[in-house]
Structure 1
């Protein structure tokens, strides 16, 4: 069971309202509810503070977060987009009715709920100002309080603001892009680590900096995207390259095109051309490279070889060890 509480608050009764948080929450909900291809993923609950008639009170926000982390789920995920506040006592998530910063839901309390949760994996994603303080107790600058199975991903450091552009949060735009597949590995899995890597690479040193804190033995997949290559084809990598450093020998029978052949060259062989098509897909994914030839076509026509890259060797080991 995978559950998610998605919160977006634009309306604030006693402070400046925001504009993109509710839209961001709807985007996150839409992408988390189903895997690529339509299979059910997270069971999502949405809290949206759009205006006076539909607001999110502090009590409701706190109670819903507490309820989320009471469930014995495989993954319990909290996403919050809205105002954040920081002071000497720690960080806070502000609700629609918060009159001052310390009237929000304390991040220390949120971490306590998550740390005590029976869920196997707890994930907290915060698109709010100063959210990077999450997981760091007051007066303990170098101490992170995360129990096993807990991951925190935030839009900015504790000293930074989280910005909006074109009616959406900069952080959440990158988050949704990563969940839509830009952070997927070759098998289509999108993990908290790959999401952070995508966001981190997309933001410059002078922009808001995302923060990633985790205490896990292995990453879980947040969403399945369409794999870059058919899994049954990827599994053949160990067949073609049975050991590290192996060179796969090519010849003109692997190239399906008759054009460009010198007189006396052997014709294409149907089985070899099918293998060559897979090897070319490996090449496009940087899993292998031709040896002493500029392109795979040259390697075949000149009877040369191809070999795995470091990435290809990584996937060869995964297949060899039945990890794929």
Structure 2
């Protein structure tokens, strides 16, 4: 049994400055993290929604990072504050000089955790300050197997649009499958890449800090190519440098087509659609078959060929 637990926090009011989308974003995060794409269990999620006092939130964070779990994940949506003493996530009982839980304190809980993987995701203003230490707050320190993903740099605000955080909207899309690899795995790195590409140079910039020797999966969805099909890549290409010769018998619209070749061709077309295979000398696979050309693996195709060949997929 995998021990994967998550604390999902959405706080929506601080000194009459409401963030109405934070609770809704947290509810959506709770829902999507609880199950994988096929309905199988993923994280055991504890939600804190609407309001939280400092002591309550601090205790929940400490408990999250206790124990020898496989993964401990903390997600926060709400107000963030930056002072000369560092960054803070703001609680609903905040007052001057006691605004909430410091980012430095959170990172210490995570750094001392015995969880195999620790992941912190923040959607709040100045969230890029998380994991910064030192007199100028410019040095990042993360323990082994720890990842921080934030919605903005430490000197930036995080924006809402249509009642939802811009960052969290992209994060949810990524977890729905937008950031999945061909095997259906969604990792912190692929999530960051997805969000980074969506946000332009003039918008808030996400921040990604990590100290890992491997990426853990945040969620799994249905593979873009069925794994049983993907594993055939070494059957069709016995050598990764090989080109497969095609002819009209591979095309099912041709009167003299070969049914076995047609099945192979359909798999090859799936590989083409995901960038694993390309026709040689022709723009489309149809013309490669009709003109008796060939097809070959791309660099990405060779990567998956190697994974299959080494029994890693």
Shorter-chain-normalised TM-score: which range? Answer: over 0.9
Paired residues for 1:264-275 under 5 Å: 267-275=256-264
State the partner residue of 2:150: 154
Alpha-carbon RMSD across the aligned residues, in angstroms, is 1.2
Paired residues for 1:40-59 under 5 Å: 40-49=41-50, 55-59=51-55
- Post-superposition Cα deviations, 1:201-240, rounded to whole Å, max 9, x if no partner, equal 0000000000000000000011001111110110111121
Q: How many residues align?
A: 311
- Post-superposition Cα deviations, 1:157-201, rounded to whole Å, max 9, x if no partner, equal 000001101100000000000000000000000000000000000
8 Å Cα contact 1:94-1:101 kept in structure 2: no
For residues 140 and 152 of structure 1, the distance between their equivalents in structure 2, rounded to whole angstroms, comes to 19
State the partner residue of 1:27: 28
For residues 312 and 83 of structure 2, the distance between their equivalents in structure 1, rounded to whole angstroms, comes to 46
For residues 96 and 174 of structure 2, the distance between their equivalents in structure 1, rounded to whole angstroms, comes to 34
Q: Unpaired runs of 5+ in structure 1? A: 50-54, 260-266
- Range 297-306 or range 166-175, more displaced: 297-306
Paired residues for 1:70-89 under 5 Å: 70-89=66-85
Q: Unpaired runs of 5+ in structure 2? A: none
- Post-superposition Cα deviations, 1:248-284, rounded to whole Å, max 9, x if no partner, equal 111122111126xxxxxxx211111111110011111
SS at match of 1:5: strand
For residues 138 and 15 of structure 1, the distance between their equivalents in structure 2, rounded to whole angstroms, comes to 33
CA deviation after TM superposition for structure 1 residue 71, in Å: 2.5
Instruction: Name which of 197, 200, 214 aligns with 1:201.
Output: 197
* TM-score for the superposition, normalised by structure 2: 0.97
State the partner residue of 1:316: 305
State the partner residue of 1:52: none
Instruction: Name which of 293, 296, 307 aligns with 2:285.
Output: 296
8 Å Cα contact 2:249-2:261 kept in structure 1: yes
For residues 100 and 7 of structure 1, the distance between their equivalents in structure 2, rounded to whole angstroms, comes to 22
Higher relative strand content: 2
8 Å Cα contact 1:187-1:231 kept in structure 2: yes
8 Å Cα contact 1:76-1:123 kept in structure 2: yes
Paired residues for 1:212-223 under 5 Å: 212-223=208-219
- Range 168-177 or range 313-322, more displaced: 313-322
For residues 208 and 151 of structure 1, the distance between their equivalents in structure 2, rounded to whole angstroms, comes to 20
For residues 101 and 196 of structure 1, the distance between their equivalents in structure 2, rounded to whole angstroms, comes to 33
For residues 96 and 71 of structure 1, the distance between their equivalents in structure 2, rounded to whole angstroms, comes to 28
* TM-score for the superposition, normalised by structure 1: 0.94
